[in-house]
Amino acid sequence: MFVYADNAATMPLSPAALSAMRPFLEENYGNASSIYSVARDARRALEDARRTIAGALGAAPEEIYFTAGGTEADNWALVGACEAKRNQGGQGGQRDRGGRGAQDGRHMIVSAIEHHAVLHTAQHLQKQGFELTVLPVDKLGRVAASQVQEALRPDTVLVSCMTANNEVGTIQPIEEIGRLCHASGVWFHTDAVQAIGHIPLDLSSLPVDMLSLSGHKFGGPKGIGALFLRRGVRLPPLLHGGGHERGLRSGTENVAGAVGMAAALRESTLGMAEDIRRTSAMRDRLIAALSAIPYAFLTGDPENRLPGNASFVFACVEGESLVLNLDMAGVCASSGSACSSGSLDPSHVLLALGLPHEVAHGSLRLTISGDTTPEQVDYLISQVIAAVARGRAMSPLWDAAAQKPIQ
Amino acid sequence: MYTDKVMDHFANPRNVGEVADANAVGQVGNPKCGDIMKMTMRIVDEVIEDVKFKTFGCGAAVATSSMATELVKGKSITEALMLSNKAVAEALDGLPPVKMHCSVLAEEAIKSAIADYYRRQGIDPTPIVGCDADCAHCH
């Protein structure tokens, strides 16, 4: 049996997305910025896609800017906010608040479990002279809104906190955090790459100024994403050139990509309620069965959790070995172990949860989707149990007789 | 990223377990770093008659342990001490650069076991093995 259980890494292209894209790869190949008819068709399709995406998110079409993906959107949000506020005063550019003069923005707040697209961009900006506060999370991976409040300063430019975490699936209190930011006049960005298409988000009521999304995380193609910029949030251009995307993100439009992403988002939005019900029931079965393995621990928040995410640490086995063993059994999964990341440290997310290094090395992430079948869940359970047993049988840290770690 | 040989030694590791009547035991690595290798040997007349390993670690850690045991089994101590990490990696048709430290660990595990053998005989292993092979200090 083959089971793809790495849907947080990427998802297969949905048939609806593929058929929506096909005409724009085969017939309507026109440059959407040209004026003849094949180009006009492409332009119309691009703007339809923008409207579809905006509609699904509760945004206005002119608030959606296409990018090459989630990483680009994150980079743009952070770099753009810092550049926009550097010489305009912090606190969202408001002047004379409480009698104070405007302060130049030079401070940024991000959570410790952000994706590297945010974290490394923030560290890059720190090297450019911006001050960075990295907020800790609790053992379930939650950012406390009260900590955001304490970290806000008069010169804070931006707070960035992901909607849901890619490794452990914890859903963050972004509404609460956004409200605090707005009360202080600070821009709030959320990396919603793992959330869009999977859990409901309504930007007409959420206090979010910028939001990043990525097409291939919900059945769209790779190489396309978007940044939502709320009306009034003005960032400098990300890429200079022919003035595409309202002059902010130049580069010939990826029409097929945008059309495919829109079709995938429409489909996942329509089926979301059913998908959440189905997927989270299977996820809970996975969690119950695999948590029963001795010295196995669920990572992330058991309650506020992405519907498809089941992530664990298993004592005395190493994560990359688990992934390779599962691969031999036809299962695609992932790990945040050091060995799978190519560095000596295990995932920054698992360490931020307070897991000791030696435990974090034994991580395994299974991310299922609405297309996963109950039979595949059964197979996942049996194969993970077997892979953990195999790893432990050859582990010098595991006492096979007593079925516990050697002290 | 892994060669077929690495995958073969990962999927079908040679000499897994512990030698029952071992007279040489070495354990190197650190759980904090994500890899630990334990080698047990039975050495008779300066020849490694049997060797087995247990490893906590990634695919490369398992494969280098397996290959290292193959390369020293039946060899004299002198020959085993000449085994370099490069030779282990080459025998596996190469390792990704970030995994080269696994081959270092395999070499150290062999040395650590042989050092233990000498210590059990009341012989200071340092001049023979090259370091005290207590690799926990190095990692």
User: Which residues of A are identified as catalytic?
Assistant: 339
Residue type, position A319, single letter: G
Distance separating alpha carbons of residues B53 and A394, to the nearest angstrom: 8
> In the prediction, which pLDDT does B34 show?
84
Beta strands in B35-134 (DSSP E): 35-44, 47-56
* pLDDT band at residue A95 using 50, 70 and 90 as cut-offs: very low
Please pick, among B102, B131, B135, B138, the residue that the annotation labels catalytic. B102
CA A241 to chain centre: 28
Beta strands in A197-278 (DSSP E): 210-214, 225-229
For residues A344 and A211, the model is more confident at: A211
Residue % of chain A over a pLDDT of 70? 95
| Residue A293 clears pLDDT 70, i.e. is over it | yes
Cα torsion through A257, A260, A261, A265, rounded to 10: 170
Distance separating alpha carbons of residues A263 and A269, to the nearest angstrom: 10
A172-209 pLDDT, tens digit per residue, is 999 999 999 999 999 999 999 999 999 999 999 999 99
Q: Is B69 on the interface with A (CB under 8 A)?
A: no
Q: Is B54 on the interface with A (CB under 8 A)?
A: yes
Q: Is A318 on the interface with B (CB under 8 A)?
A: yes
Residue of B nearest to A324 (CA): B59
Q: Is A35 on the interface with B (CB under 8 A)?
A: no
* pLDDT band at residue B10 using 50, 70 and 90 as cut-offs: very high
Question: How far from A4 is each of A90, A298, A327, A347, A373, CA to CA, in Å?
Answer: 46, 20, 10, 22, 11
> In the prediction, which pLDDT does A357 show?
87
B12-40 pLDDT, tens digit per residue, is 999 999 999 999 999 999 888 789 999 99
Q: Is B35 on the interface with A (CB under 8 A)?
A: yes
Arithmetic mean of pLDDT over chain B: 92
Q: Using the beta-carbon criterion (under 8 Å), do A395 and B16 form an inter-chain contact?
A: no
Which positions in chain B touch A344 (Cβ < 8 Å)?
Answer: 33-34
> In the prediction, which pLDDT does A371 show?
96
A44's CB contacts (< 8 A; 6+ apart) are none
> In the prediction, which pLDDT does A96 show?
40
Q: Using the beta-carbon criterion (under 8 Å), do A357 and B31 form an inter-chain contact?
A: yes
> In the prediction, which pLDDT does A101 show?
43
ipTM of the complex: 0.92
**DSSP labels, B6-40:** HHHHHHS-SSBS--TT-SEEEEEEEGGGTEEEEEE
Report the relative pairing of strands A187-191 and A156-160 from DSSP bridges.
parallel
Mean pLDDT of A282-300: 98
> In the prediction, which pLDDT does A345 show?
75
> In the prediction, which pLDDT does B30 show?
85
> In the prediction, which pLDDT does B33 show?
79
A367-396 pLDDT, tens digit per residue, is 999 999 999 999 999 999 999 999 999 999
Cα torsion through B110, B113, B117, B120, rounded to 10: 160
Best of B10, B32, B33, B56 to disrupt the A interface (most A CBs within 10 Å) is: B56
A119-147 pLDDT, tens digit per residue, is 999 999 999 999 999 999 999 999 999 99
Residues in chain A: 407
* pLDDT band at residue A92 using 50, 70 and 90 as cut-offs: very low
Distance separating alpha carbons of residues B75 and B48, to the nearest angstrom: 6
* pLDDT band at residue B131 using 50, 70 and 90 as cut-offs: low
Q: What is the DSSP letter of A101?
A: P
- Sign of the C-alpha dihedral, residues A250, A255, A256, A257? positive
> In the prediction, which pLDDT does B137 show?
46
Arithmetic mean of pLDDT over chain A: 94
Mean pLDDT of B45-67: 96
Q: Is A105 on the interface with B (CB under 8 A)?
A: no
Answer whether B7's CB lies under 8 Å from B113's CB: no
Our CA angle for A406, A381, A288, nearest 5°, is: 80
Which positions in chain B touch A339 (Cβ < 8 Å)?
Answer: 34-35, 57-61, 99
- The answer to whether residue B135 is catalytic is no
Distance separating alpha carbons of residues A32 and A150, to the nearest angstrom: 47
C-alpha closest to that of A268 among A300, A309, A305, A307: A307
Backbone φ/ψ region at A245: left (φ over 0), alpha (ψ -120 to 50), beta: left
> In the prediction, which pLDDT does B138 show?
47
| Residue B127 clears pLDDT 90, i.e. is over it | no
Strand partners, A133: A109
Distance separating alpha carbons of residues B121 and A183, to the nearest angstrom: 74
Residues in chain B: 139
